[in-house]
Amino acid sequence: MKLSICVGSSCHLKGSYDVIEELKRLVKKYDVEDVLELNASFCLGHCSDGVSAKLDDELITGLNPENVEEIFLKQVMPKIKESK
Amino acid sequence: MRIFDTNVQLLKYKTLKAVIKHIYANDLDSIYLDIPKEIVPGPKATMRCCIYKERAIVGERVKLALGGDKSNPNIVEVIDIACDECPVDGIMVTPACRGCLTHLCKENCPKDAITIIDKRAVIDKEKCIECGKCVKSCPYGAIIAQHRPCVVSCKPKALTVNSESKKAEINVDKCINCGACVCACPFGAIVDKSFIVDCINILRNSEDGKNYKVYAVIAPSIVSQFKYAKVEQVITGMKKLGFHQVVEAALGADVDLKLEADECIKKGVMLSSCCPAFVDYVIKNFPELESYISENVSPMVVTAKMIKASDPTAKVIFIGPCSAKKAEYKLPKTGGAIDCVMSFEELQAFLDARDINVSDLECSPLDNASYFGRIFAKSGGVAQGIKNEAAKQGKDVITCVMNGIDECRIGLTRLKFKRATENFFEGMACEGGCINGALCLTHGVKNADDVDRYGNEAKEKTTDNSVNLYEMAFGKKEENQ
């Protein structure tokens, strides 16, 4: 699976690099490095909804370094388990 | 509101704007007849001898706006009929000659080319070698050296005057497409080709992002342009033109700093590769030094590659102040990363042709890069960044900043004859750097201050996050090997 984090100007200013670093840590922590590929996107078109990301075709908005683990467990992990 | 420095730029702008309007109106059939009449309505001539010559020249400009001579790979072209065949008298005695007793001009002439006839200095053109000694020696400043502005501006000596027709000619084997002559010709007879038609086709065929997304990669020198509005308003304007997103080329510059610092430490001696006119100058004039040029592609290309790694169907258009970029993007080493190039002048014409007044628009943020990537726009910026990057690794790199082709020639000559002690040579063809690029809207004296301010406004204070992003897209270099 692919998780693309928006690094366009809006999301960058809202902290997308911190979100990416946090996600890199979580991918290791939950041992999903082999199944989840992290990459960047230059604008997902949701500039006013906080840091956005796309899990394959599903949009995730409102990410920040504080809530990223919670959202990761709620929205990303179940999908990974489903696909296994 | 003063957008341009000269009326020549204004004429180019009017032509581009008219061409873009006609393209969007799907009204191309009689473009060569209509646009000259729109721009030169008459009945009185304002620029040349008559409106018919003025219209003919606009017709030539329309051709260049549509891509110019397809059989000529050079970006810069001479419009024959616009060249005023400026007198090339060289050294001239003016009426200010007082017919003095010292005859310092005559005494200082190494070739005995000056005689005093009727109490006035007269120069024998056959003997004169144009050394300028008489010009310097005359106490009244009565002797002047007159050269064609285009010839003087062309540092690689690619531009010469045809001895028969007296028209300016460009030797494409020597031309580096820096565009200096485009700015220098007071008659506007030398023009850069435009690829605006290709840009428009790319944008139109995307159908507002349905078929593919179009990204703009914008040069950091944008900060000293569009002075009547904020950069953030220009970004909104660009999105209205159909761009999905605007990304700073400074992001690629951040990455290049890391890659080039590593490369420089490994190589020992290295030349910068970000300025395509400088790279071309080295290849054409110092072929023995070509191997010193950094193997890393320019920030424009790195940024475009990062965009395409994240969105494989994306099209990328570079927008900047540079005519040499119009040649660079077609080179094989760029791997097709850039789909087209537009100048700041063309962007202004494009916005106005689409009736987009950027000063009325809301702001869209532009922040993808660090301080160091942003200061690439000015001479010395790359060297400063490389020094900083090397220092992070505990290494000291001694830099040589070569500002403009004259300084490049001096620095490269020292390197060629092993007289150089520096490790990193930053070469920029335009004096002052990209902020004085040939296709800038304005070339203000305070533009370098704008670059510093803009650099300091960047959220990222180091290049680290840009490099992390690059490594996420392409993996670490060590791992690739």
Q: State the amino acid at position A61 in one-letter form.
A: T
* Domains of chain A: total: 1
**A interface with B, Cβ–Cβ below 8 Å:** 4, 7-10, 12-13, 17, 20-21, 38-43, 45, 47
Residue B226 domain-assigned?
yes
Find the closest chain A residue to B217 by CA distance.
A42
Q: Are residues B238 and B348 in the same domain?
A: yes
Name residues whose C-beta falls within 8 Å of residue B403's C-beta, 6 or more positions apart in sequence: B379, B380, B428, B431, B432, B433
Q: Are residues B372 and B386 in the same domain?
A: yes
Q: Are residues B236 and B126 in the same domain?
A: no
Q: Are residues B167 and B219 in the same domain?
A: no
Q: Please provide the DSSP assignment of B258-278 as one string.
A: HHHHHHHHHHSSEE--S-HHH
* Domains of chain B: total: 3
Cβ atoms within 10 A of the Cβ of B125, count?
10
Q: State the amino acid at position B62 in one-letter form.
A: V
**B interface with A, Cβ–Cβ below 8 Å:** 215, 235, 244-247, 306-307, 309-311, 364-368, 459-460, 465, 468-469, 472-473
Residue B402 domain-assigned?
yes
Rounded CA-CA distance B156/B178 in Å is: 10
Which residue of B244, B246, B473 is in closest CB contact with A39? B473
pTM reported for the whole predicted model: 0.93
Nearest to A7, CA basis, from B462, B314, B310: B310
Report the sign of the C-alpha dihedral through residues B448, B453, B454, B458, in that order: positive
Residue B13 domain-assigned?
yes
Domain boundary among B166, B192, B218: B192
Q: Are residues B41 and B119 in the same domain?
A: no
Q: What residues make up the domain containing B75? A: 7-80+152-192
Provide, as residue numbers in chain A, all residues whose Cβ is less than 8 Å from the Cβ of B467: none
Q: Are residues B16 and B135 in the same domain?
A: no
Q: Are residues B418 and B436 in the same domain?
A: yes
The residue whose two tokens read 């009736």 is B355
| CB–CB contact B245 A42 (8 Å) | yes
Provide, as residue numbers in chain A, all residues whose Cβ is less than 8 Å from the Cβ of B364: 9-10, 47
The domain that holds B131 is classified in CATH as 3.30.70.20
Provide, as residue numbers in chain B, all residues whose Cβ is less than 8 Å from the Cβ of A38: 472
Q: Are residues B444 and B321 in the same domain?
A: yes
Q: What residues make up the domain containing A39? A: 2-83
A vs B, Cβ pairs < 8 A, gives: 52
DSSP B291: G
Report whether B434 contacts B321 (CB < 8 A).
yes
Residue B2 domain-assigned?
no
- ipTM, 2 decimals? 0.94
Nearest to B157, CA basis, from B143, B167, B177, B171: B171
Q: Are residues B173 and B117 in the same domain?
A: no
Q: Are residues B176 and B206 in the same domain?
A: no
Rounded CA-CA distance B63/B68 in Å is: 5
Name residues whose C-beta falls within 8 Å of residue A81's C-beta, 6 or more positions apart in sequence: none
Find the closest chain B residue to A40 by CA distance.
B310
Which residue of A9, A21, A38 is in closest CB contact with B366? A9
Q: What is the pLDDT along chain B (481 residues), one digit of tens a residue?
A: 568 999 999 999 999 999 999 999 999 999 999 999 999 999 999 999 999 999 999 999 999 999 999 999 999 999 999 998 887 778 999 999 999 999 999 999 999 999 999 999 999 988 998 899 999 999 999 999 988 999 999 999 999 999 888 899 999 999 999 999 999 999 999 999 999 999 999 999 999 999 999 999 999 999 999 999 999 999 999 999 999 999 999 999 999 999 999 999 999 999 999 999 999 999 999 999 999 999 999 999 999 999 999 999 999 999 999 999 999 999 999 999 999 999 999 999 999 999 999 999 999 999 999 999 999 999 999 999 999 999 999 999 999 999 999 999 999 999 999 999 999 999 999 999 999 999 999 988 878 899 999 999 999 999 999 999 999 988 765 444 3
Q: Are residues B426 and B326 in the same domain?
A: yes
The domain that holds A57 is classified in CATH as 3.40.30.10
